[in-house]
Structure 1
Amino acid sequence: MAKISDWTERHRPSSESHLEGNESQRQKIRKWLDDWKNGTPKNKAILLVGPPGVGKTTVARAIAQDMGWNVIELNASDARNAASIRKAATKGATHRSLFYDPNEEAKRTLILIDEVDHLSGGLRTVSENRINKAINFNPESNENHNLSGDTGGKAELLNLLKNTKQPVILACNEVMGLWGKSSNWRSTRERFQRLLVTINFERASKEALRNIARRVLKSEGISYDVEAIELLVNSNPGDLRALVRDLQVICSSNTKSINADLVNDFINSGERDVSIEVFPGLAQLYKTNQAIDAIKLGVSIDKSPSDLLNWIHWNNPSIFTSKVAINRGNKALCTSSKMLMAMYENTAHRSWYWSSQISGLAASVVNQQTNQGKLYPGYPNFLRRSGSTTRTSVISRLAEISGSSKSTVRDELLPILSTLHSETSALGNIDDFSISMSLGLTGDEHAALCGLTKSRKSTKELVARYNLIESQRVISPPIMVEAEEPENATLEKGEEKPNKGQRTLF
């Protein structure tokens, strides 16, 4: 059998005895799985929460393998709607083990669902009829019964947790991704927490990283200096997966030994995770004009890659004075967004760092003009959980017009429209009412779209001007002039003579 090329898979622990770090968390998982041997525990599912690369799913698989259980694994980034989850997980969880053999001792099937924080949308259920049609969907048929996007995904996940007869383990990096960004996220959290126990994983300790590094290098037949291991461990943020991949990169030149110089060269080529607060970090980033410095700052700012992308996307229009720079920044941010998707689509976890690096470039070297004086990056309004009633009505209106969900409007459409109407943006113009009027917004809603404080005198004057123009636009419809027709004009064959009292646009 050919050797697996990816070291993270080649050296993935197959037994609990090979695991490192998060000892207390492992004990809780082991006790919960032991409870399944004697029946059905009160909580039929557990949720593992922690940063990527700390071994959440590896722990679950290793313990299940020690117990001789089978594992059905599903990535929620791929199977996200009700039909996909029903087909891949719920059917197996609500019946006897798929691998049941009457001649063998009864054993469980562990249902392991990773990346559940990428299930967006609410808890609205999908009818059984639609789910069954989607499951039995025939691509060659003219009728399309397939469910799009995340339709019914969270509701089906709740259904799975309620009715499962097999142990279910969910895993995620950011638990708020599962609860959702809407105002009723607390209700979603409560409904899930009634059915599961949450276990929080921590980043691996230095000792755990040392043990893993030694074990991998010994297995590969590569000698090492103690100093080299210490340098590698001290530069790692507690990410076991990143450690193994770093070792593979360092040893990729067919070297049979690694030393401190080799590790130093690798570290200097891409340092990461020296945490900097977001506001001073962004202010420093926007004044940087060297790519290498921007890359280091991008991965050092205390924000996840997806959040950093949103922060830079929000601040670029107000800090950059050149439209060319804004456009170049947007192109770079599009690439950064694609790198984030690559992490989930191809399990390319290194893209987690690449995305932050590209976002850092989008806030610095894309701008040919040097930013002078003190900079004041702002908090993205669309990331705030609370908001005015007026802003909520704007989101509802845009969702109705575009046919998109409110979360999509809040995350994708609203930032663009706000930039076009922001008084601090190089592209914005608060006195341009054309878009707001075409969307049917009120004066207060236009002010909210501009990000203006409602109590300000200038805001009230703007609203008054908007409402006056809007009222005139409604009361005085456009005048359409009728073209006089010559008396001797003849109608073409088959053409009806128009009604004299009817007005036409053309």
Structure 2
Amino acid sequence: MSIPLTEKYRPRSVSEVIGNKEAVSSFLEWMKSWEAGKPIKKSAFLVGPPGVGKTSLVIAYAKEHGYDLIEVNASDRRGAEQIKAIIAEASKQSTLAGTRKRIILVDEVDGAYGSEATGGINTLASIIPRTNIPIVLVANDPWDPRLAVLRNMSLLIKFSHIRQNEIMSHLRKISEKEGVKVSDELLKFIASRSNGDLRSAINDLQLFLTADQRIVEQLKNVVSTRDRTKSVFEALAEIFGATTAISGRNVTMNLDVDLDTLFTWIIDNLPNQIKDPQALFESYEFLALADLHYSRANRLQRWDYIKYAIPLLGSGPGIVKSKTSDKGGRFEFPSKIRFMQETREKREKIKSILRKLAMKSKMSQRKAATEMMPFIRAILGSGKTDIAKYYELDNEEIAIASIGDNLLPHVMDENSLTKDKEKVESVKTSQRPRKRKT
């Protein structure tokens, strides 16, 4: 069983795609409109959680209907020029009436970041209206503000988690084809732990099929406790839907973002989810208590205190909301995180300046920021650039250092929190108090 079962049993035709029949039907209708020469929209945007068949559907359709598939993964930091080179020419070379039918698949559109990603998104937005062939975009979280232009010009096709009984049935077929008899109990166990992620379930099945039968029970424990990374939007839905401290804690523990970021998401979305003034006040009280424990953990370097913050953060808003009639609105991308994304490249330049100043001047980066930067800014601002050569600053760094920048406090906050965040994440995983030396 050297071939991963996820690849061995990847759908070869559309009929083999499991679940999401409405989404599949929408995609087929969109492709029919292309083949009829009157596309509903030039691009389709397939969105939904991982492991539900978004990419597999496109690959299966291409194989079944004789299309050449041109694949690009947006998360590998392809810039505007690279996307243009790969996609722009391909989109002009052939129409569906030509001898070679093509589909362009841009996967993990939401995984791109930085200035290169912005350039790539803008390039895609300029290519799509002029394309002669179908362009399919795929993402888990399409609600990043940067992707708004792509959402608006595309046919949005939403995929959902696959039902447990569908996953169980598919796993049974795979095990039968592999010539291995697997009990319904074990299949149900795997399906129930998959969280609607078929790819994850198939990987777990392969784990059990290749394991020594004597350690099956141990593997069950591994599968049961293993973190399933959630998108922030999924986690927010569970946090604001939590009714017990345990459920809220579990959501928080399985989320692959740091607590500072999670605080930002919850606080920014709280007024949209809870309208009742008294309930909103109570929710902020929960978050204030969580922040109190979190701040104390940072201040005293007692990372075991994090365990008191996590349940308050993960369940407080949900418990309060459950006592109201508020249904809540759509989750929004926090303005602070959007700001940090938009300024990422410039902040990296400031960090580079501080590293160079600190290394040459034999001081910490914090001292370089507070003592050297004003001095450097004054000299460069007067038109004297010789000092820039000594510190090996490039032209872009000279421009930033000569006029100063209000991003400097944000950079210093990032630098001071990096080490603390690493400690916090290790505590989130272990949740065991540090042993004191005797």
User: TM-score, with normalisation over the residues of structure 2?
Assistant: 0.59
Cα deviation for residue 406 of structure 1 reads 1.8
| Partner residue, 1:310 | 261
> 1:171-250 counterparts in 2 under 5 A?
171-177=138-144, 179-180=145-146, 189=148, 191-250=149-208
Deviates more, 1:299-308 or 1:26-35: 299-308
Aligned 8 A contact 2:109 2:139 in 1: yes
| Partner residue, 2:297 | 320
| Partner residue, 2:94 | 96
Output one character per residue of 1:314-345: Cα deviation in whole Å (capped at 9) or x when no partner: 969623145655xxxxxxxxxxxxxxxxxxxx
Equivalent position amino acid for 2:11 in 1: P
Which fold has the larger relative contact order, with Cα–Cα distance below 8 Å and residues 6 or more apart in sequence? 2
Aligned 8 A contact 1:40 1:165 in 2: no
Matching residue within 46, 49, 54 for 1:48: 46
Over 3 Å counting, the alpha-carbon distance change for 1:375 and 1:206 in structure 2 is closer
Cα deviation for residue 437 of structure 1 reads 7.1
Cα deviation for residue 202 of structure 1 reads 0.3
Cα deviation for residue 80 of structure 1 reads 2.1
Over 3 Å counting, the alpha-carbon distance change for 1:303 and 1:232 in structure 2 is closer
Output one character per residue of 1:229-256: Cα deviation in whole Å (capped at 9) or x when no partner: 112222221001100111111222265x
Q: For residues 309 and 225 of structure 2, what CA distance do their matches in structure 1 show?
A: 31
Cα deviation for residue 309 of structure 1 reads 7.2
**SS of residue paired to 2:117:** coil
Cα deviation for residue 29 of structure 1 reads 0.6
Matching residue within 226, 233, 237 for 1:270: 226
Aligned 8 A contact 1:251 1:258 in 2: no
Cα deviation for residue 108 of structure 1 reads 1.8
**SS of residue paired to 1:224:** coil
Over 3 Å counting, the alpha-carbon distance change for 1:204 and 1:374 in structure 2 is closer
> 1:357-376 counterparts in 2 under 5 A?
367=303
Output one character per residue of 1:377-421: Cα deviation in whole Å (capped at 9) or x when no partner: 599xxx97447xxx99xx7xxx9xxxx95255689999xxxxxxx
Q: For residues 349 and 193 of structure 2, what CA distance do their matches in structure 1 show?
A: 35
Q: For residues 138 and 96 of structure 2, what CA distance do their matches in structure 1 show?
A: 22
> 1:394-473 counterparts in 2 under 5 A?
405-407=342-344
Q: For residues 222 and 413 of structure 1, what CA distance do their matches in structure 2 show?
A: 58
Matching residue within 43, 60, 66 for 2:58: 60
Equivalent position amino acid for 1:69 in 2: Y
Aligned 8 A contact 2:252 2:310 in 1: no
**SS of residue paired to 1:110:** strand
Q: For residues 371 and 253 of structure 1, what CA distance do their matches in structure 2 show?
A: 35
Aligned 8 A contact 2:88 2:127 in 1: yes
Over 3 Å counting, the alpha-carbon distance change for 1:199 and 1:370 in structure 2 is closer
Cα deviation for residue 220 of structure 1 reads 1.4
Aligned 8 A contact 2:229 2:256 in 1: no
Aligned 8 A contact 1:110 1:168 in 2: yes
Cα deviation for residue 195 of structure 1 reads 2.6
User: TM-score, with normalisation over the residues of structure 1?
Assistant: 0.52
| Partner residue, 1:339 | none
Aligned 8 A contact 1:235 1:271 in 2: no
Q: For residues 79 and 45 of structure 1, what CA distance do their matches in structure 2 show?
A: 21
Over 3 Å counting, the alpha-carbon distance change for 1:98 and 1:313 in structure 2 is same
Q: Does 2:153 correspond to 1:153? A: no
**SS of residue paired to 1:77:** helix
In structure 2, list runs of 5 or more residues that go unmatched. Answer: 266-290, 317-331, 352-368, 378-402, 414-438
Over 3 Å counting, the alpha-carbon distance change for 1:271 and 1:446 in structure 2 is closer
Structure label with greater radius of gyration = 1
Q: For residues 118 and 309 of structure 2, what CA distance do their matches in structure 1 show?
A: 48
Q: For residues 58 and 373 of structure 1, what CA distance do their matches in structure 2 show?
A: 40
Matching residue within 120, 134, 156 for 1:167: 134
Equivalent position amino acid for 2:256 in 1: P
Cα deviation for residue 4 of structure 1 reads 5.3
Q: For residues 72 and 210 of structure 1, what CA distance do their matches in structure 2 show?
A: 33
Aligned 8 A contact 2:245 2:312 in 1: no
| Partner residue, 1:301 | 252
Q: Percent identity?
A: 23
Q: For residues 172 and 42 of structure 1, what CA distance do their matches in structure 2 show?
A: 20
Q: For residues 174 and 183 of structure 2, what CA distance do their matches in structure 1 show?
A: 14
Q: Does 2:13 correspond to 1:15? A: yes
Cα deviation for residue 196 of structure 1 reads 1.2
Over 3 Å counting, the alpha-carbon distance change for 1:43 and 1:302 in structure 2 is farther
Over 3 Å counting, the alpha-carbon distance change for 1:446 and 1:413 in structure 2 is closer
**SS of residue paired to 1:157:** helix
Q: For residues 36 and 201 of structure 1, what CA distance do their matches in structure 2 show?
A: 21
| Partner residue, 1:364 | none
Matching residue within 65, 75, 79 for 1:81: 79
Cα deviation for residue 168 of structure 1 reads 0.6
Over 3 Å counting, the alpha-carbon distance change for 1:61 and 1:279 in structure 2 is closer
